[in-house]
Every structure is written in structure tokens, then in C-alpha cells.
Amino acid sequence: MEREESGSLGSLREFNRERVVQALRMLGVASRAEVARRTGLSRSTVSSIVAELQEEGFVVDRDSDGRPATGGGRPPAMIALDPSAGLAVGIDFGKRHLAVAVADLSHEILAEAWREMPNDYGAAEAIERAAELVEGAIADSGAPRDRILGVGMGLPGPVHSTGTVGSSAILPGWAGTKAADRMTERLGMEAWLGNDANLGGLAEATWGSGRGCSTVVYLKLATGIGAGIVIGGQLFEGAGGTAGEIGHTSLDETGDICRCGSRGCLETYAGGAAIAALLSRSFNQELEIEDVLRRASGGDPACRRALAEAGRHIGVAVANLCNLVNPERIIVGGSMGYAGDLLLDPLRESVKLRAIPSAVEDVEVVLGELGERAELLGAIALVLHEAGPAWSGRAPVMQKAATADTEP
């Protein structure tokens, strides 16, 4: 195939190739039309780039169910990156769990492991335990280590764009650490760190309830409340990486002082910790949000009422967000998502009452599809997003071009 090697046409082609590869990284198995929609390139440009990538062995055919195309039968409608061309490792540091997974480029999970963790676990011990789990998962998956593109990590706390963890009520011992750098040192692989709500949003937008939507907001409702905003398939992180802190939307400027220093934050009314504290007083015993959810599903009226009121409060903050961001879908995840419509119905009602009518018309409030795996899968998506182009199919082509064009 003839390629333009010099000038702006050549570099435009190279740029478009990268966009196609990037789109396939995020979509996994996709049709050419989906790739065109995702990249904004024309169908014919996508088809010609895909043909080139197939010839070079970086893209393979899939049948319409996403399985490897066998030839014969229905014509292959779908394509994917060659799964063996790279692997991604994901790590989710939860409030009381640690999860790791290894996935290939067709987004198939090859190995996965979960461990319970003690409350308030520290960064150093958790990084070591995670590294051991990763080594085990890599061995289980049978994946060659040199094919691993990197390690994505999610954490329930703010992560500044410099990679430094901000102060977090959930894992306070992590503040100020550069967890990704430590993991890189430990494993000898490139690592990236993201906020858990952001990663949950990335995963739900890529593979879950938000797939195919233009603007998605993921709400992680657990001990705290966070949001991940995904616009056009890209995470919106703001200037310093802290966008989406919806839990600190002030609902009452004379309300209780929040741990963040403000007053009347949503989290002080509707965070899992706040709800559990409220009901612990009512029942005169120490309850956790999981206990509240269990009692509510068993019909306990006090727990049901607390969750319904939380839904209404969350809806107020979400209505404001709808006016500002105009999302197509609000996806509810985190442990409080298990309350289902008990929480979601009052939340929807509150959004309907308070957001401007045109924003209400556009938005749908749904449960996440990925459940407790959303953050772990998001950590894998982070690698697919961030890993450099060296493995994307570009490097071998450049080598080929370099031998063909020995320019002085």
C-alpha cells in the first residue's frame, strides 16, 4: 500500500491512525461505523485505515457476537485490536477491599483477584499487597510480562493532576503520597492513578450503562459522594484533576460544617457515613451503611426513609449539575446503588422539580451495569487511555518507513 511519508498529509494520516487505534482501545469490539462516530472521521477514511491495520496484523475481524471470526457463515461485521498486542493491569483500592485484574486489548479479563482489607489501611502496605496480587494475576493469565502496557490504579480520594493524593476521609493515610510512582518502582511498569468515581464513570461510559452516550455523569454513592464526568468518551477532570466533587456541593450555607471546611455539603446529608451516623443514633447502636441497606431491603421503615431522603438531597445537587453540564445520562453506582428505586425515584423526582425543563427532558437517571467492578474496570480503561502510542501499531510501521525511506 502506498503511504504518504512526508509533509502534512503523512502526519495527518498518522494522526488519524492513532485516533482509530485509540477508539478501538476504548471500544474493544466495534463496527467500523462506531469507530467513525467515535473519532469523527468519515466512514471511508476509517475503512481504509482499518484495512491498513488489518494488513499489518494489528486489527482482527470479529463476528457480530464479538467472537473471533472463523470464516464461512456470516461475514465479519466487527473489528478489534489484536488482543495479544497488549495487556492492561487494573487495581482498585476500595475502602475495605483490594481488587486487581489483567485484561487484553479486546477487553477480556484474563485474571482477577479480590482481597479484604482492614479499615484505614496505609499506602505502603497496600501497594505491596497489590503488587503481589498483580504478580499472581499476571502468572495466572499466562500473559507475557513484556506485553503489559501499564498499570491503572483507582483510589477513593482526590487525585491531583501531579499524581499526588489529596486528603481523603476514607483513606486518610494516603494524603500526599505519589502512589503511581511507588507502584512503578515496585513493579517496573508504568502506572497511572485516578479517583475512583472518575474511573467508575470512565468504565460505565465505555462498557456499561453509558455506552454510546455523549455526556455521562457517574455518581459514586458510598461512604462519601463523588462524580465522574465523561464528555465525548473523555474524562473531564478540570484544571487540577478535582472536577466532579459533587459531594461538596453546598445545599445549605448555614448547615453543619463539613470535613472539607465548607458548610451544608451534600455529603453531610446524604453520604453513606452521614446516613449511618443518623440511624446509629436512632437505633442506639453502631451501624454502617451496609447495615442500613440490608435493613431497608428487609422493610425497616426508618432505614427506608433515610435512603429516600438521601435520594431527594442528592437530586438537588444533580439538578444543579444538569443545568450546568446537560448530561444525557446520570449513572448511579457505589454501594448505595443497591437501594435501587428506593433511592432513585426520589432522586429523579427532585431532579424533575429543580432542573430547568430542557435539561430534565434530556437526562435519564439509571443504575450502573458494572456494579462493584466499575472502578476496577475503570482502572483498566485508564491504561487503555493513557498508554503511549509505542504499542498502538505505530512503532512497527515507523520502523518499516525508516528502512524504506533512508533520507539524509
Which residue, 183 or 266, has its beta carbon nearer to Zn ion? Answer: 266
Window of 141-149, 189-197, 257-265, 350-358 that interacts with Zn ion by CB under 5 A:
257-265
**Rounded to an integer, what distance in angstroms lies between the CA atom of residue 165 and that of residue 172?**
10
- Residue 281 beta carbon to Zn ion: minimum distance, rounded to whole angstroms: 21
Does 110 bind Zn ion (CB under 5 A)? Our answer is no
For residues 65 and 252, which CB has a smaller minimum distance to Zn ion in the complex? Answer: 252
CB under 8 Å to 50, separation ≥6 — which residues? Answer: 20, 32, 35, 59, 79
Query: What string of DSSP letters covers 336-379?
Result: GGGGTHHHHHHHHHHHHHHS-HHHHHH-EEEE-SSGGGHHHHHH
The H-assigned helical ranges of 2-59 are 7-27, 32-39, 43-55
To Zn ion, the closest distance from the beta carbon of 170 in angstroms equals: 14
Region of 49-57, 233-241, 260-268, 307-315 interacting with Zn ion (CB under 5 A) = 260-268
Query: Helix, strand or coil for residue 257?
Result: strand
C-beta closer to Zn ion: residue 86 or 272: 272
Scored b (16 or more CB within 10 A) or e, 306-331 reads: bbbbbbbbbbbbbbbbbeebebebbb
End-to-end CA distance of the chain: 24
Count of residues in the chain: 408
Closer by beta carbon to Zn ion, 17 or else 248: 248
Residue 9 vs 257, nearer CB to Zn ion: 257
Closest of 346, 278, 272, 359 to residue 316, by C-alpha: 346
How many chain residues are in contact with Zn ion, going by CB under 5 A? Answer: 5
| Among 265, 273, 303, 344, contact with Zn ion (rule: CB under 5 A) | 265
**Given the rule CB under 5 A, which of 91-99, 148-156, 157-165, 255-263 is the region that contacts Zn ion?**
255-263
Residue from the set 111, 153, 191, 258 that interacts with Zn ion by CB under 5 A: 258
Cβ proximity of 153 and 133 under 8 Å: no
For position 260 contacting Zn ion by CB under 5 A, the verdict is yes
Candidates 31, 262, 323, 326; binder of Zn ion (CB under 5 A) is: 262
What would the x/- binding string for Zn ion be over residues 215 to 254, using CB under 5 A?
A: ---------------------------------x------
Q: Least CB distance from residue 154 to Zn ion, whole Å? A: 21
Nearer to Zn ion, 52 or 196 (CB): 196
Q: Applying CB under 5 A, which residues contact Zn ion?
A: 248, 258, 260, 262, 265
